[in-house]
């Protein structure tokens, strides 16, 4: 990007001057408000699509027509987890602290189990046992038929991580940065692995041939030996952490990251193959990968279809997207923050039908990057404009750079305008200049934002 086009061609900035710093614990999920927004991944069984909404309802609709079959109203303010269908039951967690089992045919409650906190992780079932984590820090093993507790394990911090079951082990992450390997039958700890940030994922981490691939809010994707908890490799993504699970297919890992990029990596080495950039973060999203296509959504409002090489085939705008689509018989089912479930033709990207939640009031969602701020790590300058003696060091000054909060170690006293005085519309990030994501933009379709074409166009970027 040529800075001259912005009217300050003499403006020099070194990459080392800026650092994205995580300044608070991630809490975006727990602070989602009431509304009709659909933020969870749908589930399917026998041609019935089941999904949850922030209007504290679980819905069941016909896959072809979108006609409602039943709805269940919870007692909380938000159905927090994605529903899981097992046999004749729909298992789902609620912000009212309860795990519910609903009858698949009618939506009537069969049993409920109360935890000590909100539930945002997706229930996982194996051999008649349901594993689910809670904000209270415990992962619970419940009997599928009765809801009776079989065991619980205290991780020591909040859980938004969905459990992964592999052979005789259960893996679950915690906000304290650890992923725990537990004995499936007893809940006893086998080992733990420490990352540098909270672990949260609304779908299970993939486990293949004794290796678990997990992501963390420290912005890394890890390959860890599932037997002993030893790190095999790690891959660094952007600066805003990772809160979604990767997908493994044909020796490639695909992960949608909070920096707005979908990465394709080699499974064995973690080396980048290609990347595709969107105009918004991807927090709770997880790609759907087939032999011919990769489907995923972004908070820029678009559902994307790529080919295996990362080239865009089509996109569909559904305004506000937080979750992953479900693919069933050539149709993508995508929940939207605009309070609708969309059925989209997977070949053409055309809408087939849409279903409205009980209210068309979108829920309030905290900004994606509220836990981060940009720190100016050293003094920057305008070339030949300010002499060295005109600077006076004074720590603690706070300045503003676009939508980011910047804390500087230095301030300057000068008759000249400093960097913070200018209208800055770009950010130096990972060696490239680009316009920052604006949280308020995610609630609007891109066509309404007056965004330039280069902002609206996703692109594949081969690894160099």
The DSSP secondary structure of 258-290, one letter per residue, reads: TTSEEEEEETTT--EEEEEE-SS--SS---EE-
The dihedral of CA 347, 351, 356, 357: what is its sign?
Answer: positive
The string over 104-124, giving b where at least 16 C-beta atoms fall within 10 Å of a residue's C-beta and e elsewhere, is: beebeebbbbebebbbbbbbb
* Neighbouring residues of 88: CB distance < 8 A, sequence distance ≥ 6: 103, 104, 105
Q: What pLDDT was estimated at residue 458? A: 53
Please tell me the distance from the alpha carbon of residue 222 to that of residue 232, in angstroms, as a whole number.
Answer: 8
Residues of the chain with CATH 2.130.10.10: 35-356
What pLDDT score does 377 carry? Answer: 58
Residue 406's pLDDT is what? 38
The whole-model pTM stands at: 0.79
Backbone angles phi, psi at 441, to 5 degrees: -70, -25
Digit-by-digit pLDDT tens for the chain (464 residues) are 444 444 444 444 454 566 677 778 888 888 888 999 999 999 999 999 999 999 989 999 999 999 999 999 987 667 878 999 999 999 999 999 999 999 999 999 999 999 999 999 999 999 999 999 999 999 999 999 999 999 999 999 999 999 999 999 999 999 999 999 999 999 999 999 999 999 999 899 999 999 999 999 999 999 999 999 999 999 999 888 898 899 999 999 999 999 999 999 999 999 999 999 999 999 888 999 999 999 999 999 999 999 999 999 999 999 989 999 999 999 999 999 999 999 999 999 999 999 999 999 999 988 887 877 777 755 444 344 433 433 343 344 333 333 333 343 333 333 333 333 333 333 333 333 333 333 333 333 333 333 333 333 455 555 44
Helix (H) / strand (E) containing 113: strand 109-114
Q: What dotted CATH number matches 35-356?
A: 2.130.10.10
83 in Cβ contact with 92 (< 8 Å): yes
């Amino acid at each position: 990007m040529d800075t001259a086009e912005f009217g300050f061609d003499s403006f020099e900035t070194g990459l080392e001057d800026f650092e994205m710093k995580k300044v608070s614990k991630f809490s975006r999920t727990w602070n989602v408000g009431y509304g009709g927004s659909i933020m969870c991944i749908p589930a399917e069984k026998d041609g019935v699509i089941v999904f949850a909404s922030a209007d504290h309802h679980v819905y069941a609709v016909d896959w072809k027509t979108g006609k409602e079959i039943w709805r269940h109203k919870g007692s909380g303010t938000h159905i927090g987890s994605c529903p899981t269908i097992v046999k004749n039951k729909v298992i789902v967690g609620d912000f009212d602290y309860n795990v519910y089992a609903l009858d698949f045919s009618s939506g009537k409650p069969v049993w409920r189990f109360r935890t000590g906190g909100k539930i945002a992780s997706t229930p996982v079932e194996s051999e008649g046992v349901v594993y689910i984590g809670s904000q209270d820090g415990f992962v619970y093993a419940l009997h599928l038929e009765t809801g009776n507790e079989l065991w619980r394990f205290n991780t020591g911090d909040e859980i938004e991580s969905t459990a992964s079951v592999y052979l005789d082990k259960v893996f679950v992450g915690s906000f304290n940065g650890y992923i725990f390997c537990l004995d499936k039958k007893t809940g006893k700890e086998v080992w733990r692995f420490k990352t540098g940030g909270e672990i949260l994922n609304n779908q299970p981490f993939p486990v293949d041939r004794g290796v678990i691939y997990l992501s963390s809010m420290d912005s890394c994707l890890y390959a860890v030996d599932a037997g002993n908890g030893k790190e095999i490799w790690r891959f660094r993504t952007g600066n805003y952490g990772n809160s979604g699970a990767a997908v493994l297919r044909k020796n490639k890992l695909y992960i949608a990251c909070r920096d707005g990029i979908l990465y394709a990596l080699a499974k064995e080495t973690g080396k980048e193959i290609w990347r595709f950039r969107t105009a918004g973060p991807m927090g709770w999203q997880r790609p759907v990968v087939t032999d011919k296509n990769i489907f995923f959504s972004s908070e820029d409002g678009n559902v994307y279809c790529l080919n295996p090489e990362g080239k865009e085939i089509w996109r569909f705008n559904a305004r506000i997207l937080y979750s992953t689509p479900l693919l069933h018989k050539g149709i993508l089912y995508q929940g939207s923050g605009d309070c609708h479930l969309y059925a989209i033709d997977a070949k053409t990207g055309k809408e087939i039908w849409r279903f409205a939640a009980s209210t068309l009031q979108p829920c309030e969602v905290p900004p994606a990057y509220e836990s981060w701020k940009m720190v100016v790590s050293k003094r920057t300058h305008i070339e030949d404009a300010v002499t060295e003696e005109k600077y006076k060091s004074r720590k603690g000054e706070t300045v503003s750079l676009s939508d980011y909060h910047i804390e500087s170690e230095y301030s300057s006293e000068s008759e000249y305008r400093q960097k913070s005085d200018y209208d800055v519309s770009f950010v130096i990030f990972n060696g490239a200049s680009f316009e920052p994501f604006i949280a308020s933009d995610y609630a609007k379709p891109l066509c309404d934002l007056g965004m330039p074409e280069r902002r609206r166009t996703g692109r594949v970027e081969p690894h160099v």
